[in-house]
Structure 1
Amino acid sequence: MKPILLDVPLQLETDRLFLRAPLQAGDGDVVYEAIRDSINELKQWLSLFQTIPTVEETEIILRNAHIDFLKRESFRYLIFHKDTNEFIGTASLHAINWKVSKCEIGYWINTQFSGKGYMTEAVRELINLGFQQLRFRRIGIRCESTNLSSRSIAEKLGFKLEGTLRNDDLSADGSKLTDICIYSIIM
């Protein structure tokens, strides 16, 4: 089957969260606020957030993510708390290679929700989507070796550290070389 014909759910649900594709006008506002509130943490790890994007730039990022979702090139979900409808963060299946049947997972969280297990819960749901519905055979997580929070999520969910690539990338701010940990889980 061609990937464009795959039925991929626009919304996923866990015990405490719902994840939905960024397809509603105005999503940029709520995501912008989370970026603004979390910029000090985000800029450590994500080159995209070295400065706070405008609401309009954030909306464009999300609309492009929706286009990529429709084209089956990546699947980004916005994460919300079920009970309060508060925006938690984003998580995505990206770097998809349909021929090899693999992808990577990326994520970031609004700082005020860190340490409560929400991202681990959301990533677990994306793993289920990737293996059960999309039939991926490998899911990876790449992160800087010093990003202990991201590494912890991978390890809690049973990902194996395949290795650390020394001086493999630039830090998010582009100021120095950094080591990248490669984690994977296979089916």
Structure 2
Amino acid sequence: MMDPILLDLPTKIETERLVLRIPQPGDGKVVNQAICESIEELRPWLSFAKKKPSIEETEADVRIAHAHFFLRKEIRFHIYSKADGRFIGTVRLHHPSWKVPRFELGYWIHTKESGKGYITEAVEALVQYAVEEVGAKRIECLIGTDNKKSCKIPEKLGFTLEGILKNEYTNGEGVLIDSYVYALTPGR
């Protein structure tokens, strides 16, 4: 595989209802608002949700994600409604192993946007992008075993449940949790 820094990856993906684009400086305020309004729902699953971040902390994270996209350390997209431009959530490919290439899939949604199929639509688009643009041979999705709602997404999209990782990580509450490992292996 060529050096991933040389890949000319699109910075925007469009679906029927959504626009996914890489994080941009200035996105911190709207992302911060979504995190703060969704913190109680995010905390049981995501380590970054230990506390409500400041706008400056979120803006710094957005700028790091912007740089990481071009350095190929992480491929994150912010999700926006095509109809009115409102921020919906994020999807990302992180922990890359470019030799395979393999990625871990992650996502979260603003609580008020949950249950509308947006994350499934965005994840499906990101998986297609990973396979077609990046050449992914393995996409993993690790989900807390108690997070049944989130498990529905990889199940709908044809991922295989490969097993359970015991004591895999600590969530936003500092609780050690087990995770399901879902994987998609294109071409196998």
TM tier relative to shorter chain: over 0.9
- Distance in 1 (CA, whole Å) between partners of 2:148 and 2:113 is 16
Q: Quick check: 1:179 aligned with 2:178?
A: yes
| 1:20 maps to amino acid | R
Residue of structure 1 equivalent to 2:151: 151
CA offsets per residue over residues 107-127 of structure 1, 9 Å max, x none? 000000000100000000010
| 2:185 maps to amino acid | I
Aligned residue pairs total 185
Residue of structure 1 equivalent to 2:113: 113
Offset, 1:172 = 3.1
- Distance in 2 (CA, whole Å) between partners of 1:166 and 1:57 is 31
Offset, 1:182 = 0.2
Give unmatched runs, 5+ long, in structure 2: none
Alignment of 1:30-109 (within 5 A): 30-109=30-109
Offset, 1:168 = 3.0
| 1:7 maps to amino acid | D
- Distance in 1 (CA, whole Å) between partners of 2:171 and 2:107 is 17
- Distance in 2 (CA, whole Å) between partners of 1:169 and 1:53 is 21
Offset, 1:148 = 1.1
CA offsets per residue over residues 8-53 of structure 1, 9 Å max, x none? 1111000000000012x32001001101110110111111111110
CA offsets per residue over residues 48-78 of structure 1, 9 Å max, x none? 1111100000000000001110101111100
- Distance in 2 (CA, whole Å) between partners of 1:145 and 1:102 is 22
- Distance in 1 (CA, whole Å) between partners of 2:64 and 2:140 is 23
Give unmatched runs, 5+ long, in structure 1: none
SS at match of 1:116: coil
Residue of structure 2 equivalent to 1:168: 168
CA offsets per residue over residues 63-105 of structure 1, 9 Å max, x none? 0001110101111100000001010000001111011211011
- Report runs of 4+ in structure 1 exceeding 2 Å deviation: 166-172
Residue of structure 2 equivalent to 1:16: 17
Task: With the length of structure 2 as denominator, give the TM-score of the two structures.
Answer: 0.95
- Distance in 2 (CA, whole Å) between partners of 1:11 and 1:37 is 26
Q: Name the stretch that deviates more: 115-124 or 25-34.
A: 25-34
| 2:169 maps to amino acid | D
| 1:8 maps to amino acid | L
- Distance in 2 (CA, whole Å) between partners of 1:60 and 1:75 is 16
- Distance in 2 (CA, whole Å) between partners of 1:168 and 1:71 is 27
Identity over aligned residues, as a percent? 46
- Distance in 1 (CA, whole Å) between partners of 2:168 and 2:72 is 28
CA offsets per residue over residues 160-187 of structure 1, 9 Å max, x none? 1000122333343113x32110000111
